[in-house]
Amino acid sequence: MFGSLQFAGQEHVDSWYAASAGPFKARASLTESLAADVCVVGAGYTGLSAALELAERGYRVVVLEGARVGWGASGRNGGQVLSDLACGMDLVRDELGQQAASEVWNMTREAVDLVGQRCAKHHIDADLVWGYFHAALKDRQLREQAAWQEDAARHYGYDRFELIGKDRLPEMVNSERYVGGLYEPDAGHIHPLKYALGLARAAEAAGVRIFEHSAVTEIVPGATVRVKVGKLEVRAESVVLAGNTYLGKLVPELDKKIMPVGTYIIATEPLGEGRARSLIPKNLAVCDANFVLDYFRFTRDTRLLFGGRVSYTGMTPVGLRETMRRSMLKVFPSLENVKIEYDWGGFVDITMNRAPHFGRVKPNIFFAQGFSGHGVALTGLAGKLMAEAIHGEAERFDLFAKLSHHSFPGGSFLRTPALVMATSYYRLRDYL
Ligand SMILES: Cc1cc2nc3c(=O)[nH]c(=O)nc-3n(C[C@H](O)[C@H](O)[C@H](O)COP(=O)(O)OP(=O)(O)OC[C@H]3O[C@@H](n4cnc5c(N)ncnc54)[C@H](O)[C@@H]3O)c2cc1C
Protein backbone atom coordinates (compact mmCIF):
# COMPACT_ATOMS: atom_id res chain seq x y z
CA MET A 1 0.00 0.00 0.00
CA PHE A 2 1.94 3.04 -1.14
CA GLY A 3 -0.26 5.48 0.74
CA SER A 4 0.76 4.00 4.07
CA LEU A 5 2.79 5.79 6.68
CA GLN A 6 3.14 2.48 8.52
CA PHE A 7 6.42 0.96 7.47
CA ALA A 8 6.95 -1.92 9.90
CA GLY A 9 7.25 -5.22 8.04
CA GLN A 10 6.77 -3.64 4.60
CA GLU A 11 8.48 -4.75 1.39
CA HIS A 12 9.41 -2.39 -1.45
CA VAL A 13 6.50 -0.57 -3.06
CA ASP A 14 5.38 -2.02 -6.41
CA SER A 15 7.06 0.57 -8.66
CA TRP A 16 9.05 0.59 -11.88
CA TYR A 17 12.08 1.18 -9.68
CA ALA A 18 11.53 -2.04 -7.72
CA ALA A 19 10.98 -3.90 -10.99
CA SER A 20 14.22 -2.61 -12.51
CA ALA A 21 16.65 -2.33 -9.57
CA GLY A 22 17.89 -5.93 -9.80
CA PRO A 23 17.84 -8.49 -7.00
CA PHE A 24 17.39 -7.21 -3.45
CA LYS A 25 19.78 -8.33 -0.78
CA ALA A 26 17.80 -9.36 2.30
CA ARG A 27 19.32 -8.17 5.56
CA ALA A 28 18.73 -9.71 8.96
CA SER A 29 16.67 -8.00 11.61
CA LEU A 30 18.13 -7.16 15.00
CA THR A 31 18.17 -10.34 17.12
CA GLU A 32 20.38 -9.28 20.03
CA SER A 33 21.24 -6.07 21.85
CA LEU A 34 24.39 -4.35 20.64
CA ALA A 35 26.77 -1.49 21.38
CA ALA A 36 27.97 0.95 18.72
CA ASP A 37 29.59 4.37 18.48
CA VAL A 38 26.68 5.68 16.42
CA CYS A 39 23.19 4.30 15.82
CA VAL A 40 21.40 5.56 12.70
CA VAL A 41 17.61 5.31 12.49
CA GLY A 42 16.45 4.91 8.88
CA ALA A 43 18.13 3.51 5.78
CA GLY A 44 17.22 6.14 3.20
CA TYR A 45 19.80 8.46 1.63
CA THR A 46 20.14 10.57 4.81
CA GLY A 47 20.86 7.66 7.11
CA LEU A 48 23.01 5.73 4.63
CA SER A 49 25.07 8.80 3.82
CA ALA A 50 25.70 9.52 7.51
CA ALA A 51 26.56 5.86 8.14
CA LEU A 52 28.99 5.71 5.20
CA GLU A 53 30.74 8.93 6.18
CA LEU A 54 31.04 7.87 9.82
CA ALA A 55 32.37 4.41 8.98
CA GLU A 56 34.94 6.01 6.68
CA ARG A 57 36.06 8.06 9.70
CA GLY A 58 36.48 4.89 11.77
CA TYR A 59 33.23 4.83 13.78
CA ARG A 60 31.36 1.59 14.56
CA VAL A 61 27.93 2.23 13.06
CA VAL A 62 24.64 0.32 13.30
CA VAL A 63 21.72 1.28 11.04
CA LEU A 64 18.19 0.27 12.09
CA GLU A 65 15.60 0.25 9.32
CA GLY A 66 11.92 -0.45 9.98
CA ALA A 67 11.25 -1.83 6.50
CA ARG A 68 13.87 -2.34 3.75
CA VAL A 69 16.85 -0.27 2.61
CA GLY A 70 15.44 2.47 0.34
CA TRP A 71 11.84 1.58 1.19
CA GLY A 72 10.90 5.21 1.97
CA ALA A 73 11.12 8.28 -0.26
CA SER A 74 14.66 7.37 -1.30
CA GLY A 75 13.47 4.36 -3.27
CA ARG A 76 10.39 5.98 -4.85
CA ASN A 77 11.18 9.55 -5.83
CA GLY A 78 11.34 11.27 -9.21
CA GLY A 79 15.10 10.84 -9.28
CA GLN A 80 15.73 14.51 -10.05
CA VAL A 81 19.13 15.47 -8.70
CA LEU A 82 18.62 19.14 -7.86
CA SER A 83 20.80 21.91 -6.49
CA ASP A 84 19.34 24.84 -4.54
CA LEU A 85 16.75 24.39 -1.77
CA ALA A 86 12.99 23.95 -2.02
CA CYS A 87 12.58 27.31 -0.23
CA GLY A 88 14.93 29.11 -2.62
CA MET A 89 18.02 31.09 -1.63
CA ASP A 90 16.26 34.39 -0.81
CA LEU A 91 14.88 32.95 2.42
CA VAL A 92 18.37 31.90 3.49
CA ARG A 93 19.84 35.29 2.60
CA ASP A 94 17.05 37.13 4.45
CA GLU A 95 17.57 35.04 7.58
CA LEU A 96 21.33 34.52 7.67
CA GLY A 97 22.83 37.20 5.41
CA GLN A 98 24.64 36.99 2.08
CA GLN A 99 27.87 35.43 3.36
CA ALA A 100 26.08 32.52 5.02
CA ALA A 101 23.72 32.17 2.05
CA SER A 102 26.73 31.81 -0.26
CA GLU A 103 28.11 29.07 1.96
CA VAL A 104 24.75 27.29 1.89
CA TRP A 105 24.55 27.64 -1.90
CA ASN A 106 28.03 26.14 -2.27
CA MET A 107 26.93 23.24 -0.09
CA THR A 108 23.89 22.62 -2.29
CA ARG A 109 26.29 22.41 -5.26
CA GLU A 110 28.50 20.08 -3.22
CA ALA A 111 25.42 17.93 -2.57
CA VAL A 112 24.86 17.47 -6.30
CA ASP A 113 28.53 16.73 -6.96
CA LEU A 114 28.50 14.19 -4.14
CA VAL A 115 25.93 12.09 -6.02
CA GLY A 116 28.25 11.79 -9.01
CA GLN A 117 31.33 11.25 -6.87
CA ARG A 118 29.72 8.48 -4.85
CA CYS A 119 28.47 6.68 -7.95
CA ALA A 120 32.01 6.79 -9.35
CA LYS A 121 33.86 5.96 -6.13
CA HIS A 122 31.59 3.10 -5.05
CA HIS A 123 30.80 1.77 -8.55
CA ILE A 124 27.08 2.47 -8.20
CA ASP A 125 25.47 2.02 -11.61
CA ALA A 126 22.36 4.13 -11.02
CA ASP A 127 21.64 5.43 -14.55
CA LEU A 128 22.95 8.91 -13.67
CA VAL A 129 22.33 11.48 -16.45
CA TRP A 130 23.31 15.17 -16.23
CA GLY A 131 21.09 18.03 -17.39
CA TYR A 132 18.01 19.67 -15.94
CA PHE A 133 15.36 22.04 -17.27
CA HIS A 134 13.17 24.20 -15.08
CA ALA A 135 10.21 24.85 -17.39
CA ALA A 136 8.24 28.12 -17.22
CA LEU A 137 4.51 28.02 -17.94
CA LYS A 138 4.10 31.80 -17.92
CA ASP A 139 6.05 34.90 -18.79
CA ARG A 140 6.00 35.86 -15.10
CA GLN A 141 7.85 32.65 -14.25
CA LEU A 142 10.36 33.23 -17.04
CA ARG A 143 11.05 36.72 -15.68
CA GLU A 144 11.58 35.27 -12.21
CA GLN A 145 13.99 32.74 -13.67
CA ALA A 146 15.92 35.49 -15.47
CA ALA A 147 16.22 37.37 -12.17
CA TRP A 148 17.48 34.22 -10.41
CA GLN A 149 19.99 33.58 -13.19
CA GLU A 150 21.39 37.07 -12.67
CA ASP A 151 21.32 36.77 -8.87
CA ALA A 152 23.08 33.39 -9.02
CA ALA A 153 25.87 34.83 -11.16
CA ARG A 154 26.25 38.05 -9.20
CA HIS A 155 25.84 36.86 -5.61
CA TYR A 156 26.64 33.16 -5.71
CA GLY A 157 29.28 33.04 -8.45
CA TYR A 158 27.26 30.49 -10.40
CA ASP A 159 27.06 31.36 -14.09
CA ARG A 160 26.09 28.05 -15.65
CA PHE A 161 22.33 28.68 -15.93
CA GLU A 162 21.09 29.34 -19.45
CA LEU A 163 17.79 31.12 -20.00
CA ILE A 164 15.87 29.49 -22.85
CA GLY A 165 13.15 31.37 -24.73
CA LYS A 166 10.28 29.90 -26.70
CA ASP A 167 12.42 29.75 -29.85
CA ARG A 168 14.89 27.27 -28.31
CA LEU A 169 12.38 25.38 -26.21
CA PRO A 170 12.23 22.32 -28.53
CA GLU A 171 15.94 21.70 -27.81
CA MET A 172 14.97 21.15 -24.18
CA VAL A 173 11.42 19.84 -24.12
CA ASN A 174 9.19 19.52 -27.12
CA SER A 175 5.94 20.77 -25.62
CA GLU A 176 3.62 23.66 -26.37
CA ARG A 177 2.81 23.93 -22.67
CA TYR A 178 5.84 26.03 -21.80
CA VAL A 179 7.09 29.49 -22.72
CA GLY A 180 10.75 28.74 -21.99
CA GLY A 181 12.80 27.97 -18.90
CA LEU A 182 16.13 27.72 -17.21
CA TYR A 183 18.63 25.08 -18.33
CA GLU A 184 21.10 23.81 -15.75
CA PRO A 185 23.79 21.45 -17.01
CA ASP A 186 25.01 20.50 -13.51
CA ALA A 187 21.82 18.89 -12.19
CA GLY A 188 20.23 15.74 -13.58
CA HIS A 189 18.49 12.45 -12.83
CA ILE A 190 19.16 9.04 -11.39
CA HIS A 191 17.50 5.70 -10.67
CA PRO A 192 16.72 6.44 -7.02
CA LEU A 193 16.39 2.91 -5.70
CA LYS A 194 19.56 1.67 -7.41
CA TYR A 195 21.33 4.63 -5.82
CA ALA A 196 19.98 3.83 -2.33
CA LEU A 197 20.91 0.15 -2.65
CA GLY A 198 24.37 1.15 -3.90
CA LEU A 199 24.89 3.47 -0.94
CA ALA A 200 23.94 0.64 1.40
CA ARG A 201 26.48 -1.68 -0.23
CA ALA A 202 29.14 1.03 0.05
CA ALA A 203 28.32 1.59 3.72
CA GLU A 204 28.52 -2.13 4.45
CA ALA A 205 31.83 -2.38 2.63
CA ALA A 206 33.07 0.36 4.97
CA GLY A 207 31.97 -1.72 7.99
CA VAL A 208 28.42 -0.49 8.72
CA ARG A 209 25.93 -3.06 10.04
CA ILE A 210 22.43 -2.59 8.61
CA PHE A 211 19.41 -4.34 10.14
CA GLU A 212 16.12 -4.39 8.20
CA HIS A 213 12.63 -4.94 9.62
CA SER A 214 13.94 -3.47 12.86
CA ALA A 215 11.64 -0.59 13.74
CA VAL A 216 12.82 1.65 16.55
CA THR A 217 10.12 1.87 19.20
CA GLU A 218 11.71 4.16 21.78
CA ILE A 219 14.76 6.35 22.24
CA VAL A 220 16.08 6.86 25.76
CA PRO A 221 18.47 9.85 25.82
CA GLY A 222 21.61 9.94 27.96
CA ALA A 223 25.40 10.01 27.66
CA THR A 224 24.86 6.58 26.16
CA VAL A 225 21.63 6.65 24.18
CA ARG A 226 19.46 3.51 24.26
CA VAL A 227 17.74 2.96 20.93
CA LYS A 228 15.07 0.35 21.50
CA VAL A 229 13.65 -2.15 19.05
CA GLY A 230 11.00 -3.82 21.15
CA LYS A 231 12.84 -5.60 23.97
CA LEU A 232 16.24 -5.30 22.26
CA GLU A 233 18.37 -2.18 22.15
CA VAL A 234 21.39 -0.58 20.54
CA ARG A 235 23.47 1.47 22.96
CA ALA A 236 25.36 4.26 21.25
CA GLU A 237 27.30 7.42 22.09
CA SER A 238 25.50 9.33 19.32
CA VAL A 239 22.32 8.85 17.32
CA VAL A 240 21.35 10.04 13.84
CA LEU A 241 17.61 10.36 13.24
CA ALA A 242 16.99 9.90 9.52
CA GLY A 243 13.45 8.56 9.49
CA ASN A 244 11.75 11.27 7.44
CA THR A 245 7.98 11.53 7.98
CA TYR A 246 7.86 7.92 9.17
CA LEU A 247 9.44 8.73 12.53
CA GLY A 248 6.09 10.17 13.57
CA LYS A 249 5.37 10.17 17.28
CA LEU A 250 8.72 8.56 18.14
CA VAL A 251 10.13 12.09 18.33
CA PRO A 252 7.15 14.45 18.78
CA GLU A 253 9.23 17.64 18.67
CA LEU A 254 10.33 16.75 15.12
CA ASP A 255 6.93 15.50 13.99
CA LYS A 256 5.22 18.85 14.54
CA LYS A 257 7.71 20.65 12.28
CA ILE A 258 6.96 18.58 9.18
CA MET A 259 3.88 17.50 7.30
CA PRO A 260 3.72 14.32 5.19
CA VAL A 261 2.40 15.16 1.71
CA GLY A 262 1.74 12.37 -0.79
CA THR A 263 3.10 12.78 -4.31
CA TYR A 264 2.71 10.32 -7.17
CA ILE A 265 4.42 9.04 -10.30
CA ILE A 266 3.33 7.07 -13.36
CA ALA A 267 5.59 5.18 -15.76
CA THR A 268 4.68 4.58 -19.41
CA GLU A 269 5.64 1.57 -21.47
CA PRO A 270 9.06 1.98 -23.17
CA LEU A 271 8.71 4.49 -26.04
CA GLY A 272 11.91 3.70 -27.91
CA GLU A 273 14.96 5.91 -28.24
CA GLY A 274 13.69 7.89 -31.25
CA ARG A 275 10.38 8.87 -29.72
CA ALA A 276 11.91 9.64 -26.33
CA ARG A 277 14.54 11.93 -27.86
CA SER A 278 11.91 13.67 -29.99
CA LEU A 279 10.21 14.77 -26.75
CA ILE A 280 13.24 15.53 -24.55
CA PRO A 281 16.21 15.69 -26.94
CA LYS A 282 18.96 16.03 -24.32
CA ASN A 283 17.38 13.45 -22.00
CA LEU A 284 17.01 16.10 -19.29
CA ALA A 285 15.13 15.95 -16.03
CA VAL A 286 12.26 18.46 -16.32
CA CYS A 287 10.28 20.18 -13.61
CA ASP A 288 7.81 23.01 -14.08
CA ALA A 289 7.85 26.25 -12.11
CA ASN A 290 4.42 25.91 -10.48
CA PHE A 291 4.07 25.53 -6.73
CA VAL A 292 2.15 22.26 -7.18
CA LEU A 293 4.39 21.06 -9.94
CA ASP A 294 4.80 18.41 -12.64
CA TYR A 295 8.19 16.67 -12.86
CA PHE A 296 9.19 14.18 -15.52
CA ARG A 297 12.07 12.51 -17.35
CA PHE A 298 12.93 9.37 -19.29
CA THR A 299 14.37 6.19 -17.84
CA ARG A 300 17.27 4.21 -19.27
CA ASP A 301 14.74 1.92 -21.01
CA THR A 302 12.89 4.98 -22.48
CA ARG A 303 9.80 5.03 -20.26
CA LEU A 304 8.46 8.46 -19.41
CA LEU A 305 8.23 8.86 -15.63
CA PHE A 306 5.72 11.60 -14.92
CA GLY A 307 5.22 12.88 -11.37
CA GLY A 308 2.97 15.38 -9.72
CA ARG A 309 -0.41 15.46 -7.96
CA VAL A 310 -0.39 15.89 -4.20
CA SER A 311 -2.51 14.48 -1.40
CA TYR A 312 -2.68 15.70 2.18
CA THR A 313 -4.80 12.94 3.64
CA GLY A 314 -2.29 10.08 3.62
CA MET A 315 -4.69 8.22 1.30
CA THR A 316 -3.94 7.39 -2.32
CA PRO A 317 -6.19 9.56 -4.53
CA VAL A 318 -9.03 7.76 -6.33
CA GLY A 319 -8.47 7.34 -10.10
CA LEU A 320 -4.82 8.26 -9.68
CA ARG A 321 -3.47 6.64 -12.85
CA GLU A 322 -6.03 8.33 -15.11
CA THR A 323 -5.65 11.75 -13.42
CA MET A 324 -1.90 11.55 -13.81
CA ARG A 325 -2.23 10.39 -17.41
CA ARG A 326 -4.34 13.45 -18.19
CA SER A 327 -1.68 15.72 -16.66
CA MET A 328 0.95 13.99 -18.79
CA LEU A 329 -1.15 14.52 -21.94
CA LYS A 330 -1.30 18.27 -21.25
CA VAL A 331 2.48 18.25 -21.68
CA PHE A 332 2.78 15.60 -24.41
CA PRO A 333 -0.58 15.16 -26.21
CA SER A 334 1.05 12.74 -28.65
CA LEU A 335 1.21 10.10 -25.89
CA GLU A 336 -2.57 9.56 -25.99
CA ASN A 337 -2.30 5.88 -26.92
CA VAL A 338 0.69 5.03 -24.81
CA LYS A 339 0.14 2.48 -22.05
CA ILE A 340 0.74 3.40 -18.40
CA GLU A 341 2.40 0.39 -16.82
CA TYR A 342 3.12 1.52 -13.25
CA ASP A 343 1.91 4.01 -10.69
CA TRP A 344 3.14 4.56 -7.17
CA GLY A 345 3.65 7.29 -4.62
CA GLY A 346 5.32 8.28 -1.40
CA PHE A 347 5.50 11.02 1.19
CA VAL A 348 7.57 14.16 1.10
CA ASP A 349 8.47 15.84 4.36
CA ILE A 350 7.34 19.44 3.96
CA THR A 351 8.28 22.15 6.47
CA MET A 352 6.23 25.34 6.87
CA ASN A 353 8.76 27.48 5.00
CA ARG A 354 10.13 24.64 2.76
CA ALA A 355 13.61 25.09 4.26
CA PRO A 356 15.43 21.93 5.40
CA HIS A 357 15.27 21.29 9.13
CA PHE A 358 18.55 20.11 10.71
CA GLY A 359 19.50 20.13 14.37
CA ARG A 360 19.87 18.18 17.61
CA VAL A 361 17.13 17.01 19.95
CA LYS A 362 19.86 16.39 22.58
CA PRO A 363 23.55 17.22 22.30
CA ASN A 364 24.30 13.69 20.98
CA ILE A 365 21.04 13.07 19.02
CA PHE A 366 21.16 14.64 15.55
CA PHE A 367 18.44 14.90 12.93
CA ALA A 368 17.92 16.07 9.35
CA GLN A 369 14.46 16.25 7.83
CA GLY A 370 12.14 18.62 5.96
CA PHE A 371 13.75 18.31 2.53
CA SER A 372 10.38 19.40 1.11
CA GLY A 373 10.58 17.36 -2.10
CA HIS A 374 14.12 18.46 -2.80
CA GLY A 375 16.13 15.77 -1.11
CA VAL A 376 17.78 13.44 -3.62
CA ALA A 377 21.03 15.38 -3.50
CA LEU A 378 20.64 17.36 -0.26
CA THR A 379 20.09 14.25 1.90
CA GLY A 380 23.58 13.04 0.96
CA LEU A 381 25.04 16.31 2.18
CA ALA A 382 22.86 16.18 5.31
CA GLY A 383 24.33 12.79 6.20
CA LYS A 384 27.82 14.08 5.59
CA LEU A 385 27.25 17.16 7.77
CA MET A 386 25.88 15.05 10.63
CA ALA A 387 28.97 12.82 10.38
CA GLU A 388 31.18 15.93 10.49
CA ALA A 389 29.30 17.22 13.53
CA ILE A 390 29.64 13.91 15.39
CA HIS A 391 33.33 14.01 14.52
CA GLY A 392 33.60 17.42 16.20
CA GLU A 393 33.40 19.65 13.11
CA ALA A 394 29.90 21.07 13.45
CA GLU A 395 30.25 24.48 11.72
CA ARG A 396 28.63 23.49 8.45
CA PHE A 397 25.86 21.51 10.13
CA ASP A 398 25.19 24.39 12.51
CA LEU A 399 24.84 26.83 9.64
CA PHE A 400 21.83 24.88 8.35
CA ALA A 401 20.59 24.41 11.92
CA LYS A 402 20.31 28.20 12.26
CA LEU A 403 17.40 28.34 9.82
CA SER A 404 14.28 28.93 11.89
CA HIS A 405 11.26 26.65 11.77
CA HIS A 406 7.71 26.92 13.02
CA SER A 407 5.45 24.09 14.02
CA PHE A 408 2.40 23.47 11.85
CA PRO A 409 -0.50 25.18 13.60
CA GLY A 410 -2.88 22.81 15.31
CA GLY A 411 -0.38 19.96 15.73
CA SER A 412 -0.65 16.75 13.80
CA PHE A 413 -4.49 16.75 13.69
CA LEU A 414 -5.03 20.24 12.32
CA ARG A 415 -1.85 20.75 10.31
CA THR A 416 -3.50 19.19 7.26
CA PRO A 417 -6.21 21.85 6.89
CA ALA A 418 -3.58 24.54 7.57
CA LEU A 419 -1.36 23.23 4.80
CA VAL A 420 -4.27 22.78 2.40
CA MET A 421 -5.23 26.41 2.94
CA ALA A 422 -1.67 27.60 2.39
CA THR A 423 -1.29 25.42 -0.68
CA SER A 424 -4.61 26.56 -2.11
CA TYR A 425 -3.27 30.09 -2.03
CA TYR A 426 -0.13 29.10 -3.96
CA ARG A 427 -2.13 26.88 -6.32
CA LEU A 428 -4.28 29.92 -7.10
CA ARG A 429 -1.09 31.86 -7.75
CA ASP A 430 -0.02 29.16 -10.23
CA TYR A 431 -3.01 30.17 -12.37
CA LEU A 432 -2.10 33.86 -12.45
C1 LIG B 1 7.18 10.42 -4.94
C2 LIG B 1 8.34 11.27 -4.53
C3 LIG B 1 9.04 11.99 -5.48
C4 LIG B 1 10.13 12.76 -5.12
N5 LIG B 1 10.88 13.33 -6.11
C6 LIG B 1 12.03 13.98 -5.79
C7 LIG B 1 12.87 14.45 -6.83
O8 LIG B 1 12.64 14.20 -8.02
N9 LIG B 1 13.98 15.14 -6.46
C10 LIG B 1 14.30 15.39 -5.16
O11 LIG B 1 15.31 16.03 -4.89
N12 LIG B 1 13.51 14.89 -4.15
C13 LIG B 1 12.41 14.17 -4.43
N14 LIG B 1 11.66 13.64 -3.44
C15 LIG B 1 12.12 13.78 -2.05
C16 LIG B 1 13.26 12.80 -1.70
O17 LIG B 1 12.95 11.53 -2.19
C18 LIG B 1 13.46 12.76 -0.19
O19 LIG B 1 13.76 14.08 0.27
C20 LIG B 1 14.58 11.85 0.27
O21 LIG B 1 14.53 10.58 -0.34
C22 LIG B 1 14.47 11.68 1.79
O23 LIG B 1 15.45 10.74 2.19
P24 LIG B 1 15.51 10.29 3.70
O25 LIG B 1 16.62 9.31 3.81
O26 LIG B 1 15.56 11.49 4.56
O27 LIG B 1 14.09 9.60 3.99
P28 LIG B 1 13.52 8.20 3.48
O29 LIG B 1 14.10 7.79 2.19
O30 LIG B 1 12.03 8.28 3.57
O31 LIG B 1 14.06 7.17 4.54
C32 LIG B 1 13.59 7.14 5.86
C33 LIG B 1 13.71 5.69 6.32
O34 LIG B 1 13.58 5.67 7.73
C35 LIG B 1 12.89 4.50 8.08
N36 LIG B 1 12.30 4.71 9.42
C37 LIG B 1 11.45 5.68 9.79
N38 LIG B 1 11.13 5.55 11.07
C39 LIG B 1 11.81 4.48 11.54
C40 LIG B 1 11.89 3.82 12.80
N41 LIG B 1 11.14 4.22 13.86
N42 LIG B 1 12.70 2.75 12.93
C43 LIG B 1 13.44 2.31 11.87
N44 LIG B 1 13.39 2.88 10.63
C45 LIG B 1 12.58 3.95 10.49
C46 LIG B 1 11.83 4.37 6.98
O47 LIG B 1 11.36 3.02 6.88
C48 LIG B 1 12.62 4.82 5.75
O49 LIG B 1 13.20 3.74 5.04
C50 LIG B 1 10.52 12.87 -3.76
C51 LIG B 1 9.82 12.17 -2.78
C52 LIG B 1 8.75 11.37 -3.15
C53 LIG B 1 8.03 10.60 -2.10
* 286-306 per-position pLDDT tens digit: 999 987 789 999 999 999 999
Predicted pLDDT of residue 292: 78
| C-alpha of residue 370 to centroid of ligand 1, in Å | 10
Answer yes or no: do 317 and 174 share one domain: yes
pLDDT at 12 exceeding the cut of 60? yes
Answer yes or no: do 37 and 154 share one domain: no
Closest CA to 383 of 25, 107, 28: 107
Answer yes or no: do 174 and 247 share one domain: no
Mean pLDDT of 29-52: 98
Is the residue at 346 inside a domain?
yes
User: pLDDT grade, residue 28 (50/70/90)?
Assistant: very high
Answer yes or no: do 268 and 413 share one domain: no
Atom index in ligand 1 nearest the CA of residue 10 equals: 47
Answer yes or no: do 380 and 411 share one domain: yes
Ligand 1 atom 25 nearest Cα:
44
Atom index in ligand 1 nearest the CA of residue 72 equals: 30
| C-alpha of residue 146 to centroid of ligand 1, in Å | 32
pLDDT at 239 exceeding the cut of 80? yes
Of 39-53, 175-189, 402-416, the range with the lowest mean pLDDT is 402-416
Predicted pLDDT of residue 1: 35
* Residue range of the domain that includes 274: 129-190+260-351
* 271-291 per-position pLDDT tens digit: 999 999 999 999 999 999 987
Q: Could you tell me which residues are beta bridge partners of residue 34?
A: 234
User: pLDDT grade, residue 3 (50/70/90)?
Assistant: very low
- Ligand 1, residues at Cβ distance < 6 Å: 7, 41-47, 64-67, 71-74, 76-80, 82, 215-216, 242-244, 246-247, 250, 263, 265, 295, 307, 345-348, 371, 373-376, 379
| C-alpha of residue 266 to centroid of ligand 1, in Å | 18
Is the residue at 110 inside a domain?
no
Of 148-157, 172-181, 201-210, 255-264, the range with the lowest mean pLDDT is 255-264
- Which of residues 351, 371, 388 is at a domain's end? 351
pLDDT, mean over the chain: 92
Ligand 1 pocket, mutate which of 13, 305, 376 (most atoms under 8 A from CB): 376
Please count the structural domains in the chain: 2
| C-alpha of residue 49 to centroid of ligand 1, in Å | 13
Answer yes or no: do 264 and 144 share one domain: yes
CATH number at residue 165: 3.30.9.10
| C-alpha of residue 179 to centroid of ligand 1, in Å | 32
Ligand 1 pocket, mutate which of 348, 349, 372, 381 (most atoms under 8 A from CB): 348
Answer yes or no: do 250 and 368 share one domain: yes
CATH number at residue 59: 3.50.50.60
User: pLDDT grade, residue 408 (50/70/90)?
Assistant: confident
Ligand 1 atom 4 nearest Cα:
77
User: pLDDT grade, residue 401 (50/70/90)?
Assistant: very high
Is the residue at 198 inside a domain?
yes
| C-alpha of residue 138 to centroid of ligand 1, in Å | 31
Ligand 1 atom 41 nearest Cα:
216
- Which of residues 351, 370, 401 is at a domain's end? 351
Amino acid, single-letter form, for residue 107: M
pLDDT at 118 exceeding the cut of 90? yes
Q: State the Cα angle at 368 between 53 and 397, rounded to 5°.
A: 65
- Which of residues 288, 317, 351 is at a domain's end? 351
Q: What share of the chain in percent tops pLDDT 90? A: 83
What's the CA gap between 408 and 256, in Å, rounded? 6
The pair phi, psi for residue 320, each rounded to 5°, is -55, -50
* 309-328 per-position pLDDT tens digit: 766 666 667 788 999 999 99
Is the residue at 331 inside a domain?
yes
Is the residue at 104 inside a domain?
no
